[in-house]
Structure 1
Amino acid sequence: MYPRSFSHIGLSVPDLDKAVEFYRDVLGLYVIMGPTEVVEDDSDIGIMCTDVLGAGWNRLRIAHLATSDRIGLELFEFDGNRPPEENLDFRRHGTFHFAIQDPDVEGLTAKIVAAGGRQRMPIREYFPGEKPYRMVYVEDPFGIVFELYSHSYELTYSAGAYD
């Protein structure tokens, strides 16, 4: 048994063009494939989407971006999309959040807020006065919650962050 590599995460957004702009211009992700329309038909991609979404999905728009360490961000704008009743339904099973790493947590948080996002909490230190590990939960302009880390996941937790 061995650990697998993380490939990508898919997010549903209300406006694909604005989401590509945010994730490219604010978070600095690379655009691999710009916004593209996919329709429910008998093409390979149409059949694959029907396999996943079921019949009647009609159309969607999709874009692919990537982080500097080659992790993909797949953005979807589904036909007839709607916001969740609660954007951080932490008791619901499923995806809770994802995290982005940047040594300038404070600066990136300010850019996110200036671009229409939200800071959900104060920036916290894991080892105050000992190590410069910081984190904060934020939201993109569409209400998707994610976390910013100043250091890698391994560095942050291998030192016993909760001891």
Structure 2
Amino acid sequence: MKNPYPRSFSHIGLSVPDITKAVKFYQEVLGWYVIMEPSEVIEDNSPIGQMCTDVFGPGWGSFKIAHLSTSDKVGIELFEFPNNEDPENNFEFWKTGIFHFCVQDPDVEGLVEKIVEHGGKQRMPIREYYPGEKPYRMVYCEDPFGNLLEIYSHSYELTYSQGAY
């Protein structure tokens, strides 16, 4: 049996209540590039309609979608579904599934400030991983739509390469 090789990360899909506002937020705050402006996908017999029925099952109707990209070519799919619901608690970390994504910026404080200025929130104080030893910092925030994002000051590999905690 061949050993598995590390796959690259292609994209992540985020559900938002207002795709136009979300595109603007991610462009202005995180600087992500718009690859495809918001457009509507309708349940029909087209290739994309059939593909979505395979994913969502019959009766999904329609939704809006936009595609963005990070500076390192990771894709961000934004979805706006009709009748979307805000969960009462968007941070149910004990439940299986994705509960956050992380971006890297050496100016953690500046990015937190920008997130808050644009309607998001800071969920915790900025913390150091190795106080007094290394300048690695992190913080959890929330976009204006309830999606949790973490900010690292340094790369994932640098932060954990010598063993964390």
TM-score, normalization: structure 1? 0.97
Q: CA deviation at 1:34?
A: 0.8
The question of whether the paired residues in 2 share the 8 Å contact of 1:16 and 1:35 is answered with yes
Q: Distance in 2 between matches of 1:39 and 1:76?
A: 13
Counting only pairs closer than 5 Å after superposition, residues 68-147 of structure 1 correspond to structure 2 as 68-147=71-150
Following the alignment from structure 1 to structure 2, what is the Cα–Cα distance between the partners of residues 39 and 89?
A: 31
Amino acid at match of 1:83: D
Taking only the aligned residue pairs, the percentage that are identical comes to 70
Which contiguous aligned blocks of 4+ residues in structure 1 show a shift greater than 3 angstroms? Answer: none
Q: CA deviation at 1:92?
A: 1.2
Q: What is the SS of the residue equivalent to 1:99?
A: strand
Q: Is the 8 A contact 1:120 1:138 kept in 2?
A: yes
Q: How does 1:52-67 map to 2 (within 5 A)?
A: 52-67=55-70
Work out the number of aligned pairs and report it: 162
| Offset at residue 2 of structure 1 (A) | 0.9
Q: In structure 1, which of residues 30, 33, 37 is the aligned counterpart of residue 36 of structure 2?
A: 33
Q: Distance in 2 between matches of 1:131 and 1:10?
A: 33
Q: How many Å apart are 1:11 and its aligned residue?
A: 0.4
Q: Could you list the per-position Cα deviations for residues 74-133 of structure 1 after superposition, in whole angstroms to 9, with x for gaps in the alignment?
A: 000011111112100111111121100011000000000010000000000111122111
Contact 1:57 1:79 in 2 (8 A): no
2:47 to 44, 56, 61: 44
